[in-house]
Amino acid sequence: MNRIPHFVDGARTTVIEAGGDGRHGEVFDPATGQVAATVGFASAAQVDAVVQVAARAARDWRDVSLSRRASVLFAFREIINARRDELAAVITAEHGKVLADAAGEVQRGLEVVEYACGIPTLLTGGFSENVSTEVDSYSLRQPLGVVAVISPFNFPAMVPLWFVPIAVACGNAVVVKPSEKDPSAAVLLAQWFTEAGLPPGVCNVVHGDCEAVDALLDHPGVRAVSFVGSTPVARHVYQRGTAAGKRVQALGGAKNHMVVLPDADLDLAADAAVNAGFGSAGERCMAISALVAVEPVGDDLVARIVERLGRIRTGDGRRPGCDMGPLITAAHRDRVAGYVAAGAADGAKIVVDGRGVPVDGDAAGFWLGPTLLDQVTPQMSVYTDEIFGPVLSVLRVESYDAALELVNANPYGNGTAIFTNDGGAARRFQHEVEVGMVGINVPIPVPMAYYSFGGWKASLFGDSHAHGRDGVHFFTRGKVVTSRWLDPRHGGVNLGFPTQT
Ligand code: NAD
């Protein structure tokens, strides 16, 4: 059985020389249901050993010039660009999403690397001459040291790439703890970063479960933690990490609403609802899971979605023509199917039932087809809970105000979208909605790398969003210098051309 290695001090390794109890997990191919590999779970002592490697590397890396750091990032960018299909295949093999979707994930991660290539510009400070007579003042930002990145299963390459390139560009060393369900993409990226010229120890990957996470949260050598995952774990990470004195950004779960006003282009809205509800089998933190139809458009919109769902092919993401892959594990598939049953029991109408969907793939895969529930009410568990699967719930309301109230009453605030042809209504929505990322006739409004990604309320603990300016700020700390140089020699008269020394 293939053992997925950690990546420590510039090399793949299945052994970390420090006390471990040999615990490990299984990594599945979700499209066949078979165990494809195993992955070791690091103990607290092993995490400590990796943090110490990173701490040693950080001491030298912070002194490497900005131009040299940028050149490593440019080289990393070239490797990802040249080998993007290889990375996409690794993602699909362990996550299950279709290859085109995996390639899209790689592209969005690559854009953060490209953003980080501009680190010399991003780290420019401020300078004020003569804040007092012959006294100058200037500000700079310095790296933190060792930072940890803890990532979820649903974007095994993109989420590490939201943080690692910027953290490294800022002069930090990183310890990544990827999801134990699909850990290989992070290892491949760390290896490519090293091939790009990153010194050993600056980017490490250690595998594990909650024991490794808690070890990172408690470790005095880890200065900051970037976490992405479900809300209960995000809350835990934020509380434990900040209690240990760390800077923490913990991005959590979501329940994203798409509001369709009566004047919307219903074909555009139906396409968007299908793409955003069922892409990646609904396992996206920006997936639309609640479709809010402002009457009288409900019946028409549902009919157009049903027509489109008839054309979605569920199957093995490696096979051409498949639109939607399996869910990540059998347990998760069963949990999502359980929500469908609960929705029906609560009075929702199952318009399209993904249970028992015909599949273009191995029967033992973790399948559940696109599912559409209508007449969902805010009290039902299909609405209150994050399902994280291919289940789209339609709620019907009578007015824009009722739609807005519904979105704002929800405890999550990651993404939302409004579909309308009324610019005034759209502008009102962007102003009034309590959600961090808003789409106007755009169903998945994921910000570009040069903006920052983050939700509100239970979708993010901490005050820094991911990447963009927030990312640079998160991975550095400010320093202001006030300086006076009174040179008693002051050089006298010298008509020579001034040169730098
Ligand atoms: P998860 O919370 O189960 O796991 C995330 C990470 O935390 C993994 O590395 C895992 O090993 C670790 N972990 C799990 N349980 C833990 C515990 N009890 N203590 C400490 N660490 C623990 O999330 P997941 O199932 O991998 O990912 C899906 C979730 O992530 C969804 O809720 C989704 O909305 C969310 N997500 C959010 C965003 C965002 O930007 N807000 C992006 C992607 C995914």
Catalytic option among 117, 170, 203, 285: 285
Give residue 154 CA to ligand 1 midpoint distance, Å.
9
Mutate to test the pocket of ligand 1, among 233, 248, 256, 457 (most ligand atoms within 8 A of CB): 233
For ligand 1, atom 43: residue with the closest CA: 285
For ligand 1, atom 22: residue with the closest CA: 210
Which DSSP helix (H) or strand (E) runs through 241?
helix 231-243
Same domain, 198 and 287: no
Share of residues in the chain with pLDDT > 90 (%): 94
The single-letter DSSP state of residue 247 is: E
Rounded Cα distance, 387 and 380, in Å:
12
Q: What is the pLDDT of residues 237-282, one digit of tens each?
A: 999 999 999 999 999 999 999 999 999 999 999 999 999 999 999 9
Residue 448 inside a domain? The answer is no
Q: Which atom of ligand 1 is nearest to the CA of 234?
A: 2
> Taking 60 as the threshold, does the pLDDT of residue 431 lie above it?
yes
Give residue 226 CA to ligand 1 midpoint distance, Å.
12
Rounded Cα distance, 212 and 214, in Å:
5
Residue 501 inside a domain? The answer is no
Mutate to test the pocket of ligand 1, among 285, 332, 464 (most ligand atoms within 8 A of CB): 285
**pLDDT for position 501:** 42
**pLDDT for position 290:** 98
> Taking 70 as the threshold, does the pLDDT of residue 499 lie above it?
no
Same domain, 199 and 163: yes
Give residue 12 CA to ligand 1 midpoint distance, Å.
24
**490 pLDDT band (50/70/90 cuts)?**
low
Same domain, 266 and 215: no
Residue 48 inside a domain? The answer is yes
Give residue 152 CA to ligand 1 midpoint distance, Å.
4
Q: φ and ψ at 24, to 5 degrees?
A: -150, 170
Rounded Cα distance, 223 and 227, in Å:
13
Q: What is the pLDDT of residues 352-378, one digit of tens each?
A: 999 989 999 999 999 999 999 999 999
Same domain, 187 and 128: yes
Residue 125: which region, alpha, beta or left (left: phi > 0; alpha: psi -120 to 50)?
beta
In this prediction, residues 134-146 reach a mean pLDDT of 96
Same domain, 405 and 466: no
Q: Is 203 annotated in the active site? A: no
Give residue 387 CA to ligand 1 midpoint distance, Å.
13
CA distances from 110 to 185, 452, 500 (A): 13, 15, 38
Please identify, among 440, 471, 496, the residue that sits at the C-terminal boundary of a domain: 440
In this prediction, residues 96-109 reach a mean pLDDT of 98
Residue 144 inside a domain? The answer is yes
Residue 289 inside a domain? The answer is yes
Same domain, 182 and 319: no
Q: Which atom of ligand 1 is nearest to the CA of 388?
A: 31
Mutate to test the pocket of ligand 1, among 213, 284, 451 (most ligand atoms within 8 A of CB): 213
Q: What is the pLDDT of residues 375-424, one digit of tens each?
A: 999 999 999 999 999 999 999 999 999 999 999 999 999 999 999 999 99
CATH of the domain at 121: 3.40.605.10
Give residue 75 CA to ligand 1 midpoint distance, Å.
30
Same domain, 209 and 274: no
Q: Which atom of ligand 1 is nearest to the CA of 180?
A: 11
Work out how many domains the chain is built from and give that number: 2
Q: Are 473 and 463 in contact (CB under 8 A)?
A: no
**pLDDT for position 491:** 65
Share of residues in the chain with pLDDT > 70 (%): 98
Same domain, 200 and 274: no
Pocket of ligand 1 (CB under 6 A): 150-155, 159, 177, 179-180, 209-210, 213, 228-230, 233, 236, 251-254, 285, 386, 388, 414, 455, 459
**185 pLDDT band (50/70/90 cuts)?**
very high
Same domain, 124 and 90: yes
Q: Which atom of ligand 1 is nearest to the CA of 237?
A: 20
**489 pLDDT band (50/70/90 cuts)?**
low
Mutate to test the pocket of ligand 1, among 179, 214, 333 (most ligand atoms within 8 A of CB): 179
Same domain, 384 and 428: yes
The single residue listed with the structure tokens 């494809």 is 36
Q: What is the pLDDT of residues 280-330, one digit of tens each?
A: 999 999 999 999 999 999 999 999 999 999 999 999 999 999 999 999 999
Q: Are 339 and 395 in contact (CB under 8 A)?
A: no
Q: Give me the numbers of helices (H) and strands (E) for the chain, helices first please.
A: 16, 23
Mean pLDDT score across all residues of the chain: 97
Same domain, 116 and 10: yes
Could you tell me the residue range of the domain that residue 310 belongs to?
256-440
**pLDDT for position 411:** 98
Rounded Cα distance, 154 and 181, in Å:
9
Same domain, 276 and 420: yes
Give residue 365 CA to ligand 1 midpoint distance, Å.
22
Give residue 183 CA to ligand 1 midpoint distance, Å.
13
Q: Which atom of ligand 1 is nearest to the CA of 230?
A: 32
Residue 487 inside a domain? The answer is no
> Taking 90 as the threshold, does the pLDDT of residue 177 lie above it?
yes
Pairing of strands 415-419, 256-260: parallel
For ligand 1, atom 20: residue with the closest CA: 210
Residue 16 inside a domain? The answer is yes
CATH of the domain at 305: 3.40.309.10
Q: Residue 379: count other Cβ atoms within 10 Å of its Cβ.
A: 9
